[in-house]
Structure 1
Amino acid sequence: MSSNLVLSSKSSASDDTVAVVTGGKRRPVRSDTGWAGRLLANVFLWGYAVVALGPLLLMVNNSFRTQQQIAMEPLGLALPPSLTSFQEAWLTASFDVYFRNSMIVTTGAVLLTTVVSVMAAYGLARARNRWFRGVEAVFLSGLMLPVHLAILPLFYLLDSLRMTSNLFSLILVYGALGIPFSTFVLTVFFRQLPQELEEAARIDGASTARTFVEVLLPLVRPALATVVVFRFVPVWNDFFYPLILMRDPDSYTLPVGLTRFFGEYQTDWPQLFAGLTIATIPLVVLFLLATKQIISGLTSGMSK
């Protein structure tokens, strides 16, 4: 009689396991089908990562090269690396001004959107009056309207108020455009929180404002991080509104400022790649800092 005895087998789409008894001990044996599937998935994911990161690495590499090196060998390595393009882009091409303007506009707009949306979402999530359903529908209607269709009346309004070429006007525009989406996301999170938490806080003598700030806001931190990231990226990269509303070059943001590197007959590629690298750094840092909160916010409510 054979010393090995098969006790059970399990088959699934991702992994096939057979339990075998050898010398009185039970050990799992994985079939080749599950191993091949995992290998294929890893190859696909790593291949996608290489394709996605390839242009980014090429941009960073060429930012450390000279115009002559890029013209002679576009895909060559930056050997030796040069920081001249960064110095020229930051100082000579006024990139420091564009970077500062983008930081002011993006930070102000995201802060305005988050503050207004979190208070509106809490009110809509806890309201029991039927009239608040109409208010919620007004917020949601902002998700269905193409925002670029309002550029003409918006331009005339800001021009009549003499607010063109004003960074504060961009903050107001971006802040208002982000409220519908942010309110929708935060309302869903507030409705998942049990009202017993607020009742317990009131029994302890906490006011509504204190309960909101000290009890509820920490619980919706993943949603806040999701809202901040999802609003920071489009505002930081937006080219349309600064191009239309900003007439003074000193009020340009990074996407509009990058167009200065394009000439009619020649393009300064090292400065352009250096400017793109500088513009990408805040986004990379933001995602590295908020990755955990973003995943928690996107997966909240998916498990019991």
Structure 2
Amino acid sequence: MSAPDLTIPVARRRQDREPWTLERIIVHALLIFFVVLAIGPVLIVIINSLKTTPAIFGGPFDLPTAKTFSLEGYKRVFTRGNFIVNYRNSLIVTVTTIVLTVVLSTLAAFALVEYRVRLASLLGGLFVLGIMLPIRLGTIPLIQMMLAWKLMDTLAALILVYTAMSIPIAVTLMVTYFRTVPTDLKEAARMDGASELRTFWIVLPLVRPGLAAVAALTMLPVWNDLWFPLILAPSRQNQTVTLGVQQFVGQFMNDYPALLAALTLGAVPLVLLFTLFSRQFISGLSKGYSK
């Protein structure tokens, strides 16, 4: 018995590859250009944060060497700044907001899809309207509300505002995912005696890409926001990373290694998280908006 010819699948794969046409080369060149344009400034900030001040001005695009390498900027950030407290506050606010947004938006979207009530369309429209209206327009009523609830200058105020800001787009996105869940699966679960909560848990694994997209969409604006931390939680013990970096910029304007180190510390967590979960984020977001 002769051995199978293993060259046929390889040949077929080569034939299936698209040829490198001029149009394809131009598209890839443009994509590479925009990637460099987006990542380049971040890399320059990180590289210069590891150098001395004379090295920054002498060669801003040069890599650190044994003579120019320095971590003094990072030391000054942690000794003279408040970054440990800032990171703790940002993590508390961001993680709590993500959990609340995912839980509340998922339950709301499931209810809007499953229960055919008269107000379902009106409620869905209100969520869409909430996406279009910027929450910063209601800054003064929010301040009055937080003062009445005695939550001014607390992390709880930020969590409540960010959760309310994130829920409209999260519900709208999750509704598109729940509508794709097969009705037969839900009906079979109910016929087997499953409660509504049990049915919800059964279909939840089918919408996991949507959960990842909602978490990523919630994380980015919450971590980067400066407006509400400056207004609702300005004290030193409640400052977030973004507010801490902003005040650090004003305080150490001439200390460029420390300034660049502060900017790096503020941006690196988002870069790392987006790098780790970029596939889930892009997949969940593109599938959700295309349905």
- Identify if the C-alpha distance between structure 1 residues 121 and 108 changes in structure 2 by more than 3 Å, giving closer, same or farther: same
Counterpart of 1:287 in structure 2: which amino acid?
F
Bigger drift between 171-180 and 192-201 goes to: 192-201
Paired residue for 2:218?
A: 231
Q: CA deviation at 1:274?
A: 1.3
Task: Determine the structure 2 residue equivalent to 1:276.
Answer: 263
CA RMSD of aligned residues (A): 2.5
The alpha-carbon deviation at position 302 of structure 1 amounts to: 8.7
Normalized per residue, which structure has more strand?
1
2:43 pairs with 1:51: no
User: Aligned to 1:182, which of 159, 165, 170?
Assistant: 170
Q: How does 1:29-44 map to 2 (within 5 A)?
A: 35-44=21-30
Q: What is the percentage of aligned positions where both structures have the same residue?
A: 39
Aligned equivalents of 1:159, 1:302: Cα separation in 2: 38
Partners in 2 of 1:97 and 1:264 — Cα distance?
A: 17
Task: Indicate the SS of the match to 2:21.
Answer: helix
- Asked if 1:249 is matched to 2:244, the reply is no
- Match in the other structure for 2:84: 96
Q: TM-score scaled to structure 2, two decimals?
A: 0.86
Counting only pairs closer than 5 Å after superposition, residues 146-225 of structure 1 correspond to structure 2 as 146-213=134-201, 215-225=202-212
Please say which of residues 126-135 and 171-180 is displaced more in the overlay: 126-135
Is the Cα–Cα contact under 8 Å of residues 113 and 175 in structure 1 kept in the other structure? yes
- Supply the AA of the counterpart residue of 1:160: A
Q: What residue number does 2:273 align with?
A: 286
Note the residue ranges of structure 1 that are not aligned, 5 or more in a row: 1-26
Q: Which residue of 1 aligns with 2:122?
A: 134
Mind listing any 5+ residue stretches in structure 2 that lack a counterpart? 1-13
- The answer to whether residue 47 in structure 2 is matched with residue 61 in structure 1 is yes
- Deviation string, structure 1 residues 89-134 (Cα, Å, up to 9, x no partner): 1232111111111111111111111111000000001121222222
Residues 133-174 of structure 1, C-alpha deviations (whole Å, 9 max, x = no match) = 222222222122221110011112212332121001100110
Q: Which has more radius of gyration?
A: 1
- The list of structure 1 runs, each at least 4 consecutive aligned residues, that deviate by more than 6 angstroms after superposition, is 301-304
Q: Residues 105 and 171 of structure 2 are in contact (CA less than 8 Å); yes or no, is this contact kept in structure 1?
A: yes
Q: How many residue pairs were aligned? A: 276
Contact 1:261 1:267 in 2 (8 A): no
What is the rounded CA distance, in whole Å, between the counterparts of 1:64 and 1:174 in structure 2?
34
